[in-house]
Structure 1
Amino acid sequence: MKRYRAAGMDNAGLGVDTENPSGALGLYERMGYVPTQRSIVFDLPIEAPEG
């Protein structure tokens, strides 16, 4: 982050799966990141046709 700041960047962002049991969300929040956007992604597996 120090290098980013030295290069003139004001913000750093990342994406995280908040349901991930690894605790990544908590880690990033402890590092000072704050949620600014949330999204929901749906997935539906499509079965191959029989035949």
Structure 2
Amino acid sequence: MTDSVPAHLTIVDDVVTTGATVQALAEVALQAGAKCVDIWAIARTPLAHS
């Protein structure tokens, strides 16, 4: 077992609302040594119409 982070990570989320959760996860992964983080989502909430 290794304590290092893979260079390329993919985060899969069921629903993205604001993106804050995946943003925080990506930032931590990059700080830990990842070079690239992809975010895949199954769905997103509708955008607010202003």
Structures share fold, TM-score greater than 0.5: no
| Bin of the TM-score, shorter chain as denominator length | 0.3 to 0.5
Larger Rg, first or second structure (1 or 2): 1
Structure showing the higher strand proportion among its residues: 2
TM-score of the aligned structures, taking structure 2 as reference length: 0.33
TM-score of the aligned structures, taking structure 1 as reference length: 0.33
